[in-house]
Structure 1
Amino acid sequence: MSFTDQKNFADSPRRWALRGDLLDFTAAPAWGATESPVVRYDRDHWLLVEDGRIVGRQAAEPDASWVRKDHAGQLVLPGFIDTHVHCPQLEVIGSYGTELLDWLERYTFPSECAFADPVRSQAGAEVFLDALVGAGTTSAVVFATVHKTSAEALFDAAARRGMRLITGKVLMDRHAPDGLRDDVVQAERDCLDLIARYHGRERLAYAVTVRFAPTSTHAQLAMAGGLCRADASLYMQTHVAENRAEVAWVAQLFPEARSYLDVYERAGLLHERAVLAHGIWLDDKDRRLIDARGAQVAHSPSSNLFLGSGLFDWRGAPFNVSLASDVGGGTSLSLPRNMLDAYKIQALRGERLTAWTALHAATRGAAEALRLGDEIGGLSVGQMADLCVWDWAKGPVAEVRDAAARELHERVFAWMTLADERNLAACYVAGQRRV
């Protein structure tokens, strides 16, 4: 169902109350703890929403002045936050047989060339954002393409939906095909124009977007760092240390740098609003540096498995870790599916990822890493009413498993393992129903 078709859903009243099983976090859960005091679970409670914000959370039934939306017996979570995802890559999801660098050349770059067309960019943005919301994701950090029009289309489409969106024009001035390269001077002009028009408008923010180190010259990286230094409220997004062949290529291209991450550090791109996708092949010094700069790593588990990139060391990370789908290297926009893949990765490392750590990384943890904890990521008074309502179980297998659950973590973990988009009963963005 397209956003246009959903307009009749978007007319929520100013004051309404939602009933359900409310679950969010008051802090980060400890690794491996299945019983945690920071898990806030209020079974059969009411959430009060006024003008798009949460204004109350209570057990008592609200008075007749509130329009009631009864989701008793269903799970109510904050809308998910996908911290690394590519808008133009939906049509290459599930592409066969390559690792990262070959996959980019064979599938991704040809697909992205089409986004030079404003009509194609607009259509792509509409489908992409509808798909995000349809998976329970209400906020995202998104890669557009090198074309300015692709970023414009994403910003405009997100504004119409009331979504919290962080994106920017991709910077690539080398090692990319014709139609996907820019130059430093024009790229800077485009970024400054987009920043002036969109950054801080409604729920939009600009990210200085370096594709990855190999596709930017030293001059372009320096320009990107200059943008970040000029405005500390800007985000920065890029890829780092996803694949061993990629790491080796960066070492050849930047022999003066100590490591892949050091390329970005030298350019002034590491700061508290930096979102680094993947971060699998980092050494201890790199890990400490990310923590010192207050940056985060967007863990993309389904992508890491599908492309064979490696097994991310989550428990050993001293920095903020958020959850991401990465599509199209990943195989689903659904963050519950990515939580399941994250669990599998940690199991292969001899660790056990709890449902609490996984859920926190897709909600409160991601929001705090983005410096947006007051706005998104929870079900607290004052936060935006970005909410998702889920069926605990869908289908006979899940229903049998749910009925056998003996305690809360077991039940939530079974939901995380078995849920997909079919479980999503409703999704609200800034208090407006979108699904």
Structure 2
Amino acid sequence: MSNSQHTPGIVPGRLNSEAYSDNFSDLHPPLDDHEARVAADRCYFCHDAPCMEACPTSIDIPLFIRQIATGTPEAAAMTIFEQNILGGMCARVCPTETLCEEVCVRETAEGKPVVIGELQRYATDKRMDAHPYKRAASTGKKVAVVGAGPAGLSCAHRLAMKGHDVVIYDARPKAGGLNEFGIASYKSTNDFAAREVEWLLSIGGIDLKLGKALGNGLNLETLAADFDAVFLGMGLAGVNALGCDGEEKDNVLDAVDFISELRQSTDLSTLPVGRHVVVIGGGMTAVDAAVQAKLLGAEDVALVYRRGQDRMNASLFEQDLAASKGVRIITHATPKAVHGNGAVREIEFAYTKDTADGLKETGETFRLPADQVFKAIGQTLGDGQGLSLEGRKIRVSDSGRTSRDGVWAGGDCASGGDDLTVTAVAEGRDAAEDIHNTLMGG
């Protein structure tokens, strides 16, 4: 530990280099061959496969685990990629504890599921050396994909595989979307997100153009005129406001920006972090920000959520992870005011309770010391380009069709589904199939 207790404010280098390395190492180290075979042998290979039903991409989980058990992990990888071309990243970041592993018969019977996520990572890592798919003959059709995140990449790959020419546009300087910029560093180490994108694009037929977004160099009218189809997978651009007095003060920041800066850092000792950090929100982003603030050396980190802990979007595993790293989880509290002279020094909360008429404040308040506050209370769409919306997202059909002919959407920017990497991959894949059928006259 550095001399942070003698240094007020937000400073970098609170820890020594060994601590940074340990804190941000792989959350789940990869299985070796023997460990994978032992883990695979625990699978009952259920005929009705509740794990497969729980997977948003419908991977044939019993089949790929059987392939691992019989010593053919490369075949297992192909079983996974057939449904989820980003199966490598999903194995690292997917909340398997609330999806496939939660319904595993071993979990039901023994409280210890087959480690499906770790087995998926083991298999997919075996096929990341060369791209396993070839393009079909060219169809002469061109498709624009806006957003190089999980939905856009999944859609682009499936379209390219079927012989269409694809141009992906993305606002950021690197492709990958939330996989590259929005996931905790300890979930995706060794630059895996960038390596996976490079591997995916190596199928060919996909042109990547960075630094372009709708409203900033791109217009839906022009894209619709220049391409045979358009897929929107740009995620959510803005961050919701706290809606309380003083939130414009210095060091009240967006959690997504904090995570992004951390993910792109080559030297964690240069990232400043406060002594008293407060994260507002109850989802995965809030937990990722809170845990990483603690791992960077913050002395006290509180995660504050307006409802009960059972209502948090973050899984119980994520909540337990936060608690194990020393994060305090405070529930039934909503921000009322940010106090400080120029920069935040305290944040005031009101206690809340659930009533028949919704969430209500009790009238009691409390304050937490804070020199750094991170907002993780949801994001907004930004420019909807005149498409019909459902709440804060683009309204789509089950196959991703929007209110405009020739335009599809999927991932976080589209209605329906959970805001998960694996869901975005499924929506991009399904939209690509519908785009292909439409372009080929099906």
- Asked if these proteins are the same fold (TM beyond 0.5), I'd say no
* TM-score, length-scaled by structure 2: 0.25
Larger Rg: 2
* TM-score, length-scaled by structure 1: 0.25
Which structure exhibits the higher relative contact order, with contacts defined as CA atoms closer than 8 Å and separated by 6 or more residues?
Answer: 1
